[in-house]
A and B are shown apart, each in its own frame.
Chain A
Amino acid sequence: MTVRARNIIVLGATSAIAEATARIWAAAGANFVLVGRDPARLQAIAQDLSVRGAKSTSIVSIDCVRANARDELQKMVKTLGRLDLLLLAYGALGDKEILEQDQKAIERLVATNFTSSIAWSLAASRILEQQRSGTLIVLGSVAGDRGRQSNFVYGATKAGLACLVEGIAHKLAPTGARAVVVKPGLVDTPMTEAFQKKGFLWSRPEDVARIIARSAERGGPIVYAPSFWGWIMLIIRLAPTWIFNRLRI
């Protein structure tokens, strides 16, 4: 895979998957705007990406969930000159037990994974549409493919997000710009730290990063990471209810 040098905005740049992906783009000489809440962490990542070959890095420490997406994005694009790629990688898993009880927790999760992500995605799609080029990549999850007892509130936010990105991809199709939702399966990141990580279903952030980098070049609008999750989720989606309801997944 050859990766082109580009002007890239990463929302949620301190996430493990986003950082691993940015390293691939850095080696190809990208210009970055790295967005996250913690300036010290962003600084450490920016420094690393520069050593790895990034042509320029600037950091914006804001809370993507609360920020005015449209205004902030315009400022970032001005810094870069133009926008070739926007990776939306922030999100939260939430605690299943708390989510089923506490409305505030639900609102926070929906605001993080869904409401604010819609605002950023739409703001990005307007810019890409005008440019008639560039790609929006949004991190979804296989959890959004069918509601399961283990994490359906989280899954519902990711299902909504996937539907949105598909719609944006549809709208952008005639212009030459693209939108992709990448759906990772089980990934060994700080988000899943409390899980027992045994078995072949677990991937490393670097494995998912390679697939994201590839989806920036081609493919979409839905990409599973790694691809075998496409087959697993096909089976899960197609499983008749009377079988599905017996599964403890």
Chain B
Amino acid sequence: MSSPPLIDRDDYCSWGRVVRRRQRVVRPHFFSELPGLVGLPSSKLAIGRRRSYGDSCLNSDGSLIDMCGLDRFISFDAKKGVLRAEAGVVLSDILHLTVPSGWFLPTTPGTRFVTLGGAVANDVHGKNHHSAGSIGRHVRAIGLLRSDRGRLTVTPASEVALYSATIGGLGLTGVIEWVELDLARIAAAHVDVECLPFENLEEFWALSAESVGNFEHTVAWIDCVSKGSKIGRGIFTRGNWSTTGSLIPHKDETWKTVPIEAPSSLLNTRSIGAFNEVYYHLQKRKRKSRLHYAPFFYPLDSVLHWNRLYGRSGMLQYQCVIPKGEARRAIPHMLSEITRSGGASFLAVLKTFGALASPGLLSFPREGATLAIDFPNRGRDTLEALARLDQIVQEFHGALYPAKDGRMPARLFRQSFPGWEEFSKATDPAMSSDFWRRVAS
């Protein structure tokens, strides 16, 4: 059997659609094809559905191994809730399989269209971080293919260093071939949700402190366009899994899609301001409800390709975490900087992270508060505004999320991920990415 060909493609961008460089892509479908690909002369990077925003899933100087064709389940123990699957399986398909028997992902990011391998390589977190930690805490074993050591089974007991490098390791420690994961018990496919409006950040901190003990899932949306006395207002959402009800998984509706790129001027301060005003007042009225998990965890997934709304020039996402002691001082600074720059979007999310440690050397979640905001890409203005936010992050000893990043300076990366040197010793010599060359060399 011959190995699949390397094809030059110009349609491989990351979710932010800012980087538009040609990529050389190979798409294997079976494990037997992988060893030959890892041995290719140029640098490689295994990738999934490319939901990372910046350049951590691109490798312009080398080649990309697109793992989406490796999307098979290997085993599922419906009694113990243990799943083993190939790295290219999408979270959405996992839920189709496991929800009917009462199992859910231990934690989930805001989109179900990421691969299992990608979720582990970015050590993703969700609304339940304070109760479950990042997904890496629930990984039992990883099948890893190294260019220098061949096929390995990596567990916290068998390969201590490689395990903590591979979780959150952005695919740089080898090709993640499969993952074995502990799932979480659910009694129903629904979440009992409360939405609480808040007028300022002080109210947010109070709501957050009051909720983390009693609610498994918490998150807040912030209106970061409003100014003056309304600065820091938003909607706090908290929820717990329903204890009774049906176990019917979501439907994949594919008819709602953004078919083409919007004009770049569509999302401007005025249109986003109007949206935020309406959204705030609509949400304000909803107090308690029972929601299926799909609209609760994945509100944006119902519109495919929503990133095209940002037009040809794309968008930059800025997600940072500020350690617990500093967050109350740092977040107001950041919000006023963002409002002042006038470049923000309707997607601004604030959440507190709990104390459960993330297992990866490059894991992003740590105890404190995380703020995530989309910025339409307006070139230099946007980059300057984000550089000012970098200053605040650096001053308060925070960190940026590599999965969302496409521009942080190497200096900030090294300061906020002190394990990076130890990590770089565990990387696979054959692996690299645009992100890694930018921050580590």
Q: Which of B68-76, B122-130, B280-288, B330-338 contacts A (4 or more CB under 8 A)?
A: B68-76
Q: Contacts of B263 on A, CB cut-off 8 Å?
A: none
Expressed in whole angstroms, the minimum distance between the Cβ of B364 and any Cβ of chain A is: 31
Contact segment of A39-47, A102-110, A129-137, A224-232: A39-47
Assembly CA distance A41 to B31 (angstroms): 8
Map CB proximity to A onto B1-29 as digits: 1 under 8 Å, 0 otherwise.
10011010001000000000000000101
Rounded to whole angstroms, the CA-CA distance of A193 and B9 in the bound complex is 11
B27 A48 Cβ-Cβ under 8 A: no
- Complex CA gap A237/B72 in Å reads 40
- The answer to whether residues A51 and B74 also contact, given A193-B7, A194-B7 and a CB cut-off of 8 A, is yes
- Report Cα–Cα, A190/B29, bound state, in Å: 8
CB distance from B81 to the nearest CB of A (A): 14
CA distance A16 to B69 in the complex (A): 9
- Contact assessment for A51 and B97 in the assembled complex, using a CB-CB cutoff below 8 Å: yes
Whether A47 touches B75, Cβ cut-off 8 Å, given contacts A52-B97, A190-B4, A193-B5, is: yes
- A16 touches which one: B1, B11, B29, B73 (CB < 8 A)? B29
For window 51-84 of chain B, which residues contact chain A by CB distance below 8 Å? 69, 72-76
Q: Is A95 an interface residue (CB 8 A)?
A: no
Residue A63, interface by CB 8 Å = no
Q: Is the CB of B32 within 8 A of A47?
A: no
Q: What residue in chain B is nearest A38 (Cβ atoms)?
A: B1
A191 nearest CB across to chain B (Å)? 11
A44 touches B76 (CB 8 A): no
Q: How distant is the Cα of A41 from the Cα of B86 in the complex, in angstroms? A: 13
The yes or no answer to B298 lying at the interface (CB within 8 A) is no
Tell which of A38, A45, A51, A193 touches B27, judged by Cβ atoms closer than 8 Å.
Answer: A193
**Within 8 Å CB of B74, what residues of A?**
47-48, 51
Interface SS of chain A? helix
Closest beta carbon of chain A to B247's beta carbon, Å: 15
- In the complex, A194→B73 CA distance in Å? 27
What are the residues of chain B within 8 A of A44 when measuring CB–CB? 30-31, 72
Do B30 and A40 touch (CB < 8 A)? yes
* Central interface residue in B31, B72, B75, by most chain A CB within 10 Å: B72
CA distance A40 to B31 in the complex (A): 9
B7 and A47 within 8 A (CB): no
With a cutoff of 8 Å between Cβ atoms, the chain B residues found around residue A14 in the complex are 30
Q: Is the CB of A48 within 8 A of B73?
A: yes
Bound: A121/B340 CA distance, A: 71
Q: Is the CB of A48 within 8 A of B72?
A: yes
B28 to A, closest residue via Cβ: A190
A193→B30 CA distance, assembly (Å): 15
B:26-40 near A, CB below 8 Å? 27, 29-32
Contact with B along A177-209 (1 / 0, CB 8 A): 000000000000010011000100000000000
Seen from chain B, the residues whose Cβ lies within 8 Å of a Cβ on chain A are: 1, 4-5, 7, 11, 27, 29-32, 69, 72-76, 97
Q: Show 16 A/B contacts (Cβ-Cβ < 8 Å), sorted by A.
A: A16-B69, A38-B1, A40-B30, A41-B32, A44-B30, A47-B74, A48-B72, A48-B73, A48-B74, A51-B74, A51-B75, A51-B76, A190-B27, A190-B69, A193-B5, A194-B5
Beyond A48-B73, A193-B7, 13 additional contacts (C-beta under 8 Å) are A38-B1, A40-B31, A40-B32, A44-B30, A44-B72, A47-B72, A47-B74, A48-B74, A51-B75, A52-B97, A190-B4, A190-B27, A190-B29
